[in-house]
Amino acid sequence: MKRVAQFFKVGFDNFAQAVKADFHMFSDADIREMYEKLELPRRATRGSAGYDLFAPFSFSLAPGETIKIPTGIRAKMDENWVFTLYPRSGLGFKYRLQMNNTVGIIDSDYYDSDNEGHIFIKMTNATNEGKTIEVSRGTGFAQGIFLEYGITVDDEVSDVRNGGLGSTTGPKEGD
């Protein structure tokens, strides 16, 4: 088995700013406690392909609701590898929990971005059965798999990333 990556927490200030941006109900003390209790992603069994990502706080999603979770986690990985993100299989199956971008792609150069490569996960409860999802702090709610990739023989890209979503090509956030 190739060992190609390692997980780290982002800095406290980065995490606190991300939580405060969307979750005004948490105090500074709440955020500090969340940060101290952040769990690095891990596999459940030796045969698991996916690394579980754990909820930094409890949340519920009614049918049709969306949430953007700042995980407080970053992934340092070898070049030519990508960390792909999906909902945990059970949550997708039982509740039709879906990633808003269908599959999250964390590139190897994202780790060095201005935001420390902070991984955010945006999900929607797309149930058509009227089920509300309840996720407790510390529960695995998403999973990621490291995949190796190749490039074309005539690829000569030399640009460097500096940012997250929409920082490479395509419309920028707010466009």
* Distance separating alpha carbons of residues 6 and 123, to the nearest angstrom: 24
Strands, E, within 32-168: which ranges? 51-54, 59-61, 66-70, 73-77, 81-87, 97-99, 104-107, 120-125, 133-135, 140-148
More confident residue, 128 or 29: 29
Cβ burial of 128 (10 Å; 0-12, 13-18, 19+) is exposed
pTM: 0.89
Is it the case that residue 175 has pLDDT exceeding 50? no
Query: What is the amino acid identity at position 70?
Result: P
Q: What is the mean pLDDT of the chain?
A: 91
The arrangement of strands across the sheet holding 140-148 comes to: 51-54, 140-148, 81-87, 104-107
User: Per mean pLDDT, which range of 50-59, 75-84, 94-103, 164-173 is the poorest?
Assistant: 164-173
Is it the case that residue 26 has pLDDT exceeding 90? yes
DSSP-derived letter for residue 36 is H
Residue 165's pLDDT band (cuts 50, 70, 90): low
* Distance separating alpha carbons of residues 64 and 162, to the nearest angstrom: 33
Domains and their CATH numbers in the chain: 5-148 (2.70.40.10)
What pLDDT does residue 169 have? 53
Is it the case that residue 107 has pLDDT exceeding 70? yes
What pLDDT does residue 172 have? 45
State both tokens at 168.
Answer: 């490479």
The arrangement of strands across the sheet holding 97-99 comes to: 66-70, 120-125, 97-99
More confident residue, 160 or 166: 160
* Distance separating alpha carbons of residues 153 and 175, to the nearest angstrom: 33
